Amino acid sequence: MNPTDLHATTDMSIVALISGASVPVQLVMLILVLASLVSWWYIFIKFFTLKRSDQEAEDFENKFWTGGDLNLLYESVTAGRRKPQGIASMFEAGFKEYARLKRQGGLEVSDIMEGSRRAMRAAYNREMDDLDAHLPFLASVGSVSPYIGLLGTVWGIMNAFLGLANTAQATLSQVAPGIAEALIATAIGLFAAIPAVIAYNRFASSVDRLSVRYESFMEEFTNILQRKA
C-alpha cells in the first residue's frame, strides 16, 4: 500500500471522524450538541433578563426615595400597560393590601402590617421564581455533560479495540481513528459544560444580589408603612 492510499483511508478531519463514529457515539454527540444549543439560548435570555431586572430596580428605587407621595407613585406604577416587575411589583402588592385593610377600619396596626407584609412576600416569591428560571437546566448541563461525553468516549474506545480482535497485528494507524472519534465526544461534552457552569455561577450570584436588594426594600417599605399607619 502506498502512502497516498493510507492517507485516503485514514481521513482524520473532524467531519470524517464524526460521520465515521458508531451510532451510539453519534447519538451522544447529538444529545450534547442539542444541550449546548439550548443552554446558550437560556444564557442569552437570562443575561438580558437579569440586566433588565437590575435596571428596573435601580430606576424604581430612585423614584421611591425621592420622597414623593406614595399614592401618586402607586398610581404611576399601576397606570402602565405592562405589569409591574421586580421591586415595583412588591411595592404595588404591599401598598394595595395596606390601602385595602386601611379602608376596612377597626383593624390593629399590626394586622394591617402583617397583611401588607404577606402580600409583598408573595410578590417576592413570584419574582424569585422568574429569576431562577432556567438556572437548574444550566446547572444540569454543566454537571452532567462531561459524564455523557465520557460515556461516548468509553463506548467508542471499546468499539475501536473490539475491532482489532480479529486482526493479526494491530498498528497505531488502525486504532487511532477509533480513539480520535471517541475523544471527540468528551470534547463536545466539555464544550457544552464549561459555558453552562460559568453562566450558572454568574447568574446565581446576580440572583442572590437581587434577592438581598428585594428583601431590603421590603423591610424599609414596611417601616415606612408602619409609621404612616
Domains of the chain by residue range: 17-228
Overall size of the chain counted in residues: 229
How far apart are the C-alpha atoms of 147 and 144, rounded to whole Å?
5
Check pLDDT > 50 for residue 216: yes
C-alpha to C-alpha distances, 6 to 12, 169, 199, nearest whole angstrom: 11, 16, 44
Residues 154, 22 contacting (CB under 8 angstroms): no
- pTM for this prediction: 0.81
Identity at 7, one-letter amino acid code: H
Three-class DSSP category at 164: coil
pLDDT mean over 207-227: 91
Q: Tens digits of per-residue pLDDT, 130-159?
A: 999 999 999 999 999 999 998 888 887 877
Check pLDDT > 60 for residue 53: yes
Q: Tens digits of per-residue pLDDT, 63-112?
A: 888 877 888 888 888 887 778 888 999 999 999 998 888 888 777 888 88
pLDDT mean over 9-13: 56
C-alpha to C-alpha distances, 168 to 2, 165, 171, 180, 197, nearest whole angstrom: 21, 8, 10, 22, 46
How far apart are the C-alpha atoms of 126 and 86, rounded to whole Å?
9
How far apart are the C-alpha atoms of 51 and 208, rounded to whole Å?
14
In this predicted structure, what is the pLDDT of residue 9? 45
Residues 197, 142 contacting (CB under 8 angstroms): yes
